[in-house]
C-alpha cells in the first residue's frame, strides 16, 4: 500500500514498482477518471451513480465506499493479480481499511511524506494523461532539498507513453486541492495510526521525485523479497519464476 497526501507521487512510484516486482497496480482514482472521461458507459453503473461520482470529484470529496470496493473487487480477482497488488491511494478511510482487511491482508504500507508548500506546487503544476494516468509537471520547485523539474510531453497535450490527452485534472485546481489536503488529514491520516500499531508502516520522504525511486525500491525489497526484474535478467523459465514467487509468498 502506497499512502500519502495528494501529489506525493504515489501513481508514478506504483507504476514503476508494479513493473519491477511483477505486481498489479490498483488505483481507484485512475479507474474513476477512466469512467468520468469515457463517452460510453462500459461499467454497468447506473447514470445516477456516475453523476454522483462527478459531483464528488468536482467538489474534492471522497467517492462513496461501495463504488470503490466494487472497482477493487474486479481488479483483485484478475488472474494477473495472483502475485500481489500495489494499492495506490487506497484505502482512504478507516471503514475502507476494515472492509478490505476482512478479505485481504496489507503486508506493507509506505507513507510518502512531502511538505505542504511543495505539495501545492506539485499539484497545481501537475498535468495528467487521461488514458494511462502518467503525470507531468508544468512547474519547478527547488527548496530545502526538494527538487521538482519541469517535465512536459514532447508534443503539447499528447502523452509520450500512450498518445492520450494530457491536461489539468478537474481536482487539481487550487480550491479543490486545499479541500483534498484537509480531507486527507481528517480521514486518511487515522489509517496510518491504526496500521502503525501493527508495525507495518514505513515513513519515506521523497524529495527528489524519480531520483529517490531506488531508495524506495530497496525498502520494499528488504521487506517483501527480491523484485521481478532480478529474475527476469537471469533468463529463468516461467515454471522457475512461479516456484520463486511461491517460495516467498
- Interatomic CA distance for residues 109 and 203, integer angstroms: 9
The pLDDT of residue 49: 77
- Interatomic CA distance for residues 160 and 209, integer angstroms: 19
Q: Which of 101-110, 132-141, 145-154, 239-248 has the lowest mean pLDDT?
A: 239-248
Q: Which residue(s) pair with 213 in the sheet?
A: none
Span 26-52, pLDDT tens digits: 988 788 877 777 766 666 677 887 788
Span 159-177, pLDDT tens digits: 999 999 999 998 898 899 8
Q: Taking residues 113-128, what's their average pLDDT?
A: 91
The pLDDT of residue 77: 81
| Residue with more model confidence, 221 or 232 | 221
- Interatomic CA distance for residues 153 and 186, integer angstroms: 35
The pLDDT of residue 28: 84
The pLDDT of residue 238: 40
The pLDDT of residue 210: 86
The domains of the chain are located at 2-248
% residues pLDDT > 90 (the chain): 29
The pLDDT of residue 42: 63
Q: Are strands 85-87 and 166-167 parallel, antiparallel or unpaired?
A: unpaired
CA 44 to chain centre: 24
Single pTM value for the model: 0.74
Does 70 score more than 60 pLDDT?
A: yes
% residues pLDDT > 70 (the chain): 88
Question: Where do we find the cell 494530457?
Answer: 166
Does 245 score more than 70 pLDDT?
A: no
Mean per-residue pLDDT of the chain? 83
Query: Which CATH architecture group holds 2-248?
Result: 3-Layer(aba) Sandwich (3.40)
| Residue with more model confidence, 239 or 146 | 146
Torsion angle defined by CA atoms of residues 23, 29, 34 and 40, in that order, rounded to the nearest 10 degrees: 120
Span 123-164, pLDDT tens digits: 999 999 988 888 999 999 999 999 999 999 999 999 999 999
The pLDDT of residue 44: 63
Instruction: Compute the half-sphere exposure of residue 21: CA atoms within 13 Å on the CB side of its CA.
Output: 28
The pLDDT of residue 71: 77
Amino acid at each position: 500500500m502506497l499512502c500519502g497526501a495528494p501529489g506525493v507521487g504515489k501513481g508514478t512510484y506504483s507504476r514503476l514498482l508494479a513493473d519491477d516486482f511483477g505486481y498489479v497496480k490498483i488505483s481507484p482514482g485512475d479507474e474513476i477518471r477512466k469512467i468520468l472521461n469515457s463517452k460510453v458507459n462500459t461499467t454497468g453503473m447506473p447514470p445516477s451513480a456516475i453523476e454522483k461520482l462527478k459531483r464528488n470529484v468536482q467538489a474534492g470529496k471522497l467517492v462513496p465506499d461501495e463504488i470503490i470496493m466494487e472497482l477493487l473487487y474486479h481488479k483483485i480477482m484478475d488472474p494477473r493479480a495472483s502475485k500481489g497488488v500495489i494499492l495506490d491511494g487506497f484505502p482512504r478511510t478507516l471503514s475502507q481499511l476494515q472492509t478490505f482487511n476482512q478479505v485481504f491482508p496489507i503486508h506493507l504500507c509506505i507513507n510518502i511524506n512531502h511538505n505542504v508548500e511543495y505539495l501545492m506546487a506539485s499539484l497545481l503544476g501537475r498535468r495528467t494523461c487521461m488514458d494511462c494516468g502518467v503525470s507531468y509537471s508544468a512547474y519547478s520547485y527547488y527548496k530545502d532539498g526538494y527538487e521538482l523539474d519541469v517535465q512536459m510531453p514532447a508534443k503539447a497535450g499528447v502523452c509520450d507513453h500512450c498518445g492520450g490527452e494530457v491536461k489539468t485534472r478537474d481536482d487539481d485546481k487550487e480550491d479543490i486541492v486545499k479541500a483534498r489536503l484537509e480531507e486527507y488529514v481528517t480521514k486518511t491520516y487515522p489509517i496510518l495510526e491504526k496500521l502503525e500499531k501493527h508495525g507495518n508502516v514505513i515513513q519515506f520522504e521523497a524529495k527528489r521525485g524519480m531520483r529517490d525511486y531506488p531508495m524506495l525500491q530497496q525498502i520494499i525489497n528488504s521487506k517483501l523479497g527480491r523484485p521481478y526484474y532480478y529474475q527476469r535478467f537471469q533468463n529463468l523459465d516461467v515454471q522457475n519464476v512461479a516456484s520463486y514467487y511461491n517460495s516467498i509468498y
